[in-house]
């Protein structure tokens, strides 16, 4: 039965919620290996052996939201807060450009100090400076449709906003200041504007069941984003979930692999959280269908303050350390670094139709 389901997922890229739930509840270690190898084959069919790199700039850890799992939540008074100025962000981009990155991901807490005008000017400057090579990805949380529109017009290409969990009740327990329907509406708006959109979720959240994880995959099948970020939940002691159990390596890899089978043309990062959970977590994700890595280029002086979870890797490293460490890791599993923009197939084929 499970073999037939794996075969069906591989051949048709479709499973129902009941089928996914059944698989998650009963999969054996041997079947996990079969799943990973089918996911790797599927990745290769769409993206070959290439792994795309993005330089990640964590530009502010100030946040107005209060997500129960997150180390930089507004109520955590123990975090030392920081903001990089637009000039400092540009300096990170210069360094990243020198290291070969052609996508910059600008990520932060929800920090309204960075107004629409400031962000627009910054995006415009980055795009002009490296025109036409560089893509800009934003990951700044919820803003108005008008702001999303004007940042897109200024030159932002992509937007990452994980849906975190597609189960509204669980979502709202974990995000006391937020609503699932707003999250969904933001993702829809971003797609309508024309961004390449990244969604995604955490694995092993307190109270999350296999049926809940199946719901995440169904949600993603419907949304069909360009990128899907999946990471284990890792407890942070300065949050209300500090003494909960975190997500496991195996459960996260299974979700990465199933995502590759069900949304085969998506870009899937091997996340820093997986690398934190296990020394080879990211390499294992690359072998189970992931095809993107996001080395950190945040200045070493503030890195440790962007602690969404504890023991995050690379805290003492410099951008050049991460660049070459990542390259070695990719080569060690027989894959190749691609320093191009790395657009999703879905985006490229849409552009072909219209352009
Ligand atoms: N403010 C932005 C960026 C959020 S931080 C936004 O709302 O999109 C990036 C991601 O880190 C989050 O989407 C969440 O999935 C993940 N994250 C936060 N805390 C975490 C934790 N304790 N364990 C694992 N991942 C976490």
Q: What's the pLDDT tens digit per position in 27-47? A: 999 999 999 999 999 999 999
Q: Indicate the Cα dihedral angle 325, 327, 329, 331, nearest 10°.
A: -150
| Protein residue with its CA nearest to atom 7 in ligand 1 | 141
DSSP 178-200: --HHHHHHHHHHHHHHT-EEEEE
Q: pLDDT for 258-267, tens place per residue?
A: 999 999 999 9
Q: How far apart are CA 275 and CA 76, in angstroms?
A: 24
pLDDT at residue 351 in the model: 77
Q: How many Å lie between the centroid of ligand 1 and the Cα of residue 84? A: 19
Can you tell me which residue has the tokens 């123990």? 78
The predicted model gives 277-305 an average pLDDT of: 98
CA distance to 54, 56, 236, per residue, from 307 (Å): 19, 14, 9
Q: Where are the domains of the chain?
A: 53-343
pLDDT at residue 353 in the model: 58
Q: How many Å lie between the centroid of ligand 1 and the Cα of residue 71? A: 9
pLDDT at residue 164 in the model: 98
CATH architecture type of domain 53-343: Alpha-Beta Barrel (3.20)
Can you tell me which residue has the tokens 């910059």? 104
Residue 182, pLDDT > 90, answer yes
Residue 214, pLDDT > 90, answer yes
Please name which of 104, 159, 160, 153 lies closest in space to residue 133, comparing C-alpha atoms. Answer: 104
Give residues (CB < 6 A) around ligand 1: 69-70, 107, 109-110, 139, 141, 161-162, 164, 202, 231, 233-234, 236, 273, 308-309
Residue 322, pLDDT > 60, answer yes
Residue 354, pLDDT > 60, answer no
pLDDT at residue 271 in the model: 98
Q: pLDDT for 61-115, tens place per residue?
A: 999 999 999 999 999 999 999 999 999 999 999 999 999 999 999 999 999 999 9
> Over the chain, what is the mean pLDDT?
97
DSSP 293-341: E--B-S-HHHHTT--SSTT-TTTT--HHHHHHHHHHHHHHTT-EEE-S-
Q: How far apart are CA 197 and CA 295, in angstroms?
A: 19
CA distance to 51, 273, 274, 306, per residue, from 338 (Å): 6, 22, 21, 27
| Ligand 1 atom index nearest CA of 239 | 22
Q: How many Å lie between the centroid of ligand 1 and the Cα of residue 132? A: 30
Q: Which residues contact 275 (CB under 8 A, 6 or more apart)?
A: 281, 282, 313
Q: Which residues contact 263 (CB under 8 A, 6 or more apart)?
A: 13, 220, 221, 224, 225, 228
Q: Using the Cα atoms of residue 338, residue 353, residue 14 and residue 24 in order, give the sign of their dihedral.
A: positive
Residue 355, pLDDT > 80, answer no
pLDDT at residue 292 in the model: 98
Q: pLDDT for 268-289, tens place per residue?
A: 999 999 999 999 999 999 999 9
pLDDT at residue 63 in the model: 98
Q: pLDDT for 125-177, tens place per residue?
A: 999 999 999 999 999 999 999 999 999 999 999 999 999 999 999 999 999 99
Pocket test for ligand 1, best of 308, 309, 310, 312 (most atoms within 8 A of CB): 308
Q: What percent of the chain has pLDDT over 90?
A: 96
Strand pairing report for 135-139 and 158-160: parallel
Q: How far apart are CA 44 and CA 111, in angstroms?
A: 38
DSSP 242-290: TTS----HHHHHHHHHHHHHHSTTSB-BB-HHHHHHSTTHHHHHHTTT-
Pocket test for ligand 1, best of 70, 195, 233 (most atoms within 8 A of CB): 70
| Ligand 1 atom index nearest CA of 235 | 22
User: Which pTM value belongs to this model?
Assistant: 0.98
Strand partners, 164: 201
């Amino acid at each position: 039965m499970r073999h037939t389901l794996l075969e069906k997922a591989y051949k048709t890229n479709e499973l129902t919620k009941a089928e996914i739930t059944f698989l998650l509840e009963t999969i054996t270690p041997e079947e996990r290996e079969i799943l990973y190898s089918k996911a790797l084959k599927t990745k290769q069919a769409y993206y070959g052996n290439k792994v795309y790199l993005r330089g990640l700039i964590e530009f502010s850890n100030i946040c107005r939201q209060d997500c129960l799992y997150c180390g930089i939540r507004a109520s955590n008074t123990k975090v030392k807060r920081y903001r990089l100025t637009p000039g400092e962000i540009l300096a990170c981009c210069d360094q990243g450009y020198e290291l070969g990155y052609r996508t910059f991901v600008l990520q932060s807490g929800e920090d309204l100090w960075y107004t629409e005008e400031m962000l627009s000017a910054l995006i415009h400057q980055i795009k002009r400076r490296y025109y036409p090579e560089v893509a800009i990805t934003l990951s700044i949380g919820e803003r108005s449709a008008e702001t999303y529109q004007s940042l897109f017009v200024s030159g932002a290409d992509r937007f990452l906003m994980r849906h975190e969990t597609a189960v509204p009740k669980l979502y709202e327990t974990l995000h006391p200041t937020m609503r699932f329907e707003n999250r969904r509406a933001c993702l829809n708006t971003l797609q309508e504007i024309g961004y390449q959109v990244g969604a995604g979720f955490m694995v092993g959240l307190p109270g999350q069941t296999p049926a809940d994880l199946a719901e995440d995959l169904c949600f993603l099948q419907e949304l069909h984003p360009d990128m899907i970020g999946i990471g284990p939940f890792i407890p942070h002691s300065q949050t209300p979930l500090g003494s909960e159990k975190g997500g496991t390596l195996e459960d996260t890899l299974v979700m990465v692999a199933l995502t590759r089978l069900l949304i085969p043309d998506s870009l899937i990062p091997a996340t820093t959280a997986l690398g934190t959970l296990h020394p080879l977590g990211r390499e294992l994700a690359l072998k189970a269908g992931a095809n993107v890595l996001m080395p950190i280029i945040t200045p070493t002086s503030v890195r440790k303050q962007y602690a969404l979870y504890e023991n995050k890797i690379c805290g003492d490293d410099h951008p050049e350390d991460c660049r070459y460490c990542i390259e070695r890791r990719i080569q060690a599993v027989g894959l190749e670094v691609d320093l191009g923009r790395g657009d999703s197939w879905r985006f490229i084929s849409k552009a072909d139709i219209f352009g």
